[in-house]
């Protein structure tokens, strides 16, 4: 049995003071959660969010990481920096990074390796655009994105990766993939993992759905056998909404 994991992706929202307030509001609301609870916050909020989450079941994550250990990369943050600031998780390869910041499958792979080597837990994002789905490329694309991103990891390392399947057309649009669509594509990702790393490994990897997941649709999505959690954007910015998603089984 895989333990569910629900993570908030705050994107570029919340100042440190606002982050503190949101984490404090969340703490009592999610304390009975049966899943892992993570908030992936802007880097400047990590230390504050970590301090606010102290003594609770809320884990803190970052939203991106550079692949070099250190060096002349103005404006970037290394895995060691994020970890020392208090991040336990890091999102890598979000479609907004791919779309607006030139992220490629190759650099996603480099970032995954850097994060894993530094002891950060990775939430790897994959997903197709609408035109790719309409052209019938969804399965091939998510398989390719996933396997490239994991290149260089051994089975034990792959087991610990969390994958977020986020169809780009469902992000921030209010349009959710149907429960069956999400389940089917996540099944495709797991089958690809099984072919490359064996069934035992594939069955341990937690695969989330992301894209307009919210209190009103979380139950149906989480009832699907392949879906092990969610990566939540908009609905993670209000304590009551995120708590309602986290407490989907209550």
Residues near ligand 13P, by CB under 6 A: 9, 94, 166, 171-172, 210-213, 231-235
Residue 120 or 231: the one with the smaller Cβ distance to ligand 13P is 231
- Closest-by-Cβ residue to ligand 13P is 233
| Phi, psi dihedral angles at 105 (to 5 degrees) | -60, -35
159 is catalytic: no
Q: Which is nearer to ligand 13P, 167 or 197 (CB)?
A: 167
Q: Whose Cβ is closer to ligand 13P: residue 86's or residue 211's? A: 211
Which one of the listed residues 66, 94, 96, 226 is annotated catalytic?
94
To 10 degrees, the CA torsion angle through 227, 5, 219, 179?
Answer: -20
| Minimum gap (Å) between residue 154 Cβ and ligand 13P | 27
Q: Which is nearer to ligand 13P, 80 or 241 (CB)?
A: 241
Q: Which is nearer to ligand 13P, 61 or 210 (CB)?
A: 210
- Rounded Cα–Cα distance for residues 187 and 16 (Å): 38
**Least Å distance between CB 72 and ligand 13P?**
30
Least distance from C-beta 237 to ligand 13P, angstroms? 9
Is 143 noted as a catalytic residue in this protein? no
Q: How far is the CB of 159 from ligand 13P (least distance, A)?
A: 22
DSSP string, 215-243: TTTHHHHHTSTT--EEEESGGGSSHHHHH
- What is the 3-state composition of the chain as percent helix, strand, coil, each rounded to the nearest 5? 45, 15, 40
Instruction: For residue 164, give the nearest of 74, 247, 40 by alpha carbon.
Output: 40
- Least distance from C-beta 67 to ligand 13P, angstroms? 20
Catalytic residue among 128, 143, 166, 226: 166
Q: How far is CA 238 from CA 9, 10, 11, 29, 183, in A?
A: 12, 10, 13, 11, 27
Cβ partners under 8 Å of residue 90, min gap 6? 40, 61, 62, 63, 64, 65, 79, 82, 115, 120, 121, 122, 123
Tokens of 38: 């993570």
Residue with the two structure tokens 């051994």: 154
A 10 A CB-CB count for 64 gives 20
The residues carrying an active-site annotation are 94, 166
């Amino acid at each position: 049995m895989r333990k569910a994991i629900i993570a908030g992706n705050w994107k570029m929202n919340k100042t440190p003071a606002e982050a503190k307030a949101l984490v404090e509001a969340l703490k009592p609301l999610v304390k009975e959660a049966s899943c892992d609870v993570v908030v992936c916050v802007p880097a400047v909020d990590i230390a504050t969010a970590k301090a606010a989450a102290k003594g609770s079941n809320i884990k803190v994550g970052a939203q991106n990481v550079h692949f070099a250990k250190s060096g002349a990369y103005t404006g970037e943050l290394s895995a060691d920096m994020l970890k020392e600031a208090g991040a336990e998780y890091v999102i890598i390869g979000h479609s907004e990074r791919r779309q607006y910041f030139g992220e490629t499958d190759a650099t996603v792979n480099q970032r995954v390796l850097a994060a894993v080597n530094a002891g950060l837990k990775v939430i790897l994002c994959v997903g197709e655009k609408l035109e790719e789905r309409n052209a019938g490329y969804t399965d091939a694309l998510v398989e390719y994105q996933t396997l490239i991103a994991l290149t260089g990891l051994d089975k034990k390392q792959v087991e610990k990766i969390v994958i977020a399947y986020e169809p780009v057309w469902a992000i921030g649009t209010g349009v959710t993939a149907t429960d069956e669509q999400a389940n089917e594509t996540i099944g495709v990702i797991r089958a690809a993992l099984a072919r490359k790393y064996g069934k035992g490994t594939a069955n341990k990897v937690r695969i989330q759905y992301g894209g307009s997941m919210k209190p009103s649709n979380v139950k149906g999505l989480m009832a699907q056998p392949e879906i092990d959690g969610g990566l939540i954007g908009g609905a993670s910015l209000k304590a009551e909404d995120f708590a309602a998603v986290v407490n989907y089984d209550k």
